[in-house]
């Protein structure tokens, strides 16, 4: 039944989370979408037959982005006017969009989310500051699931980390999460080289890419959208190096490369592991651990993970450093990096 396919309650569950995150508009979109899935049989069939966990696959966020993308295109007009806050008839606007744009929504939802949220760079940089204090070496960065590679430019952004200024002070990309707890160490991570991998890397200079990424930004969070636009503009001048490949094969190749003495190799990822199947997740983690076992004080390895806990109760920032192998929970974080509860 269509009522059951409401992603097993996933839209409603994500609507509750969206409200908690300060996005009542997105919550209302998801709830209306759940009520009117019967208007979109192709989308309904896609959700009903989805092979895996709808939460891990972020189906609700895919749907929300598809609706946002339609509104950005001005179709149908009633949906566009809803997003312009000219009325609040969520049911009428969403139902009309689902009826007329079912094929678009279903096609959009088949592609993986591409948020490339630059606000998460604050957490990654903070972890690099801890590793930098420990090793006193410059970094070579390896990112899994880079999307458009915006977080590979993390050293080019300006940060306010609980009153601690970091990064490039004149950058147009300014990141200032709400900070709780003590500050990270006052070190300046030097990034020698940064490269990443993605199955479907995006080109920051491509207009369709920009539209897709901006569609994944919650419509009632304009500051996020502005920050993303600045990061996309910066990426056109400092093009990130992202390889089209599967993460596991690429990671194996990179970690097999001899490491330059006097550099810390750092593997990082943010909200990526949930999109790997269990076998690939294990292989990736085993590859990192094996590389860690080969690390030396002259060639250390750091692993930075910004991911949901297995039960999706919170997002945790972990740092593991080799050759010691010590793993530290540095912080719990807002999923999009809006706040950081530092424990480091």
pLDDT tens, residue by residue, 88-106: 999 999 999 999 999 999 9
Name residues whose C-beta falls within 8 Å of residue 49's C-beta, 6 or more positions apart in sequence.
none
Q: In which residue are the tokens 């056109």 written? A: 236
Residue 5: the pLDDT is 41
Residue 2: the pLDDT is 39
Please, are residues 337 and 303 in contact by the beta-carbon 8 Å criterion? no
The pTM assigned to this predicted structure is 0.88
Burial 57-71 (b: 16+ CB within 10 A, else e): bbbbbbbbbbbbbbb
For the record, the structure tokens of 328 come out as 């530290």
For the record, the structure tokens of 83 come out as 């997003």
Those residues of the chain that have pLDDT short of 50 are: 1-8
């Amino acid at each position: 039944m269509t009522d059951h396919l409401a992603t097993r309650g996933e839209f409603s569950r994500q609507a509750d989370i969206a409200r908690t995150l300060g996005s009542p508009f997105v919550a209302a979109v998801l709830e209306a979408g759940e009520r009117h899935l019967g208007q979109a049989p192709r989308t309904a069939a896609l959700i009903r037959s989805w092979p895996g966990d709808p939460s891990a696959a972020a189906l609700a966020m895919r749907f929300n982005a598809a609706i946002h993308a339609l509104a950005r295109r001005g179709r149908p007009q009633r949906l566009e006017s809803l997003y312009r806050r000219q009325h609040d008839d969520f049911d009428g606007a969403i139902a009309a969009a689902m009826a007329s744009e079912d094929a678009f929504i279903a096609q959009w939802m088949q592609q993986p989310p591409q948020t490339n949220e630059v606000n998460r760079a604050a957490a990654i940089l903070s972890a690099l500051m801890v590793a930098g204090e420990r090793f006193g070496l410059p970094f070579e960065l390896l990112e899994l699931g880079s999307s458009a590679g915006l977080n590979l430019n993390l050293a080019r952004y300006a940060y306010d980390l609980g009153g601690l200024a970091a990064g490039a002070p004149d950058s147009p990309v300014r990141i200032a999460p709400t900070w709780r707890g003590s500050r990270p160490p006052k070190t300046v991570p030097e990034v020698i080289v940064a490269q990443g991998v993605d199955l479907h890397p995006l080109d920051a200079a491509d207009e369709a890419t920009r539209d897709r990424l901006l569609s994944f930004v919650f419509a009632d969070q304009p500051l996020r959208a502005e920050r993303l636009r600045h990061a996309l503009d910066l990426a056109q001048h400092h093009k990130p190096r992202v390889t089209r490949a599967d993460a596991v094969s690429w990671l194996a190749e990179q970690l097999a490369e001899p490491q330059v003495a006097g550099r810390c190799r750092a593997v990082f990822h943010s909200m990526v592991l949930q999109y790997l199947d269990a076998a690939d997740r294990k292989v990736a983690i085993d590859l990192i651990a094996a590389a860690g076992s080969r690390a030396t004080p002259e060639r250390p390895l750091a692993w930075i993970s910004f991911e949901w806990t297995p039960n999706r109760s919170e997002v945790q920032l972990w740092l593991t450093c080799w050759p010691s192998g010590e793993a530290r929970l540095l912080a719990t974080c807002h999923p999009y990096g809006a706040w950081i509860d530092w424990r480091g």
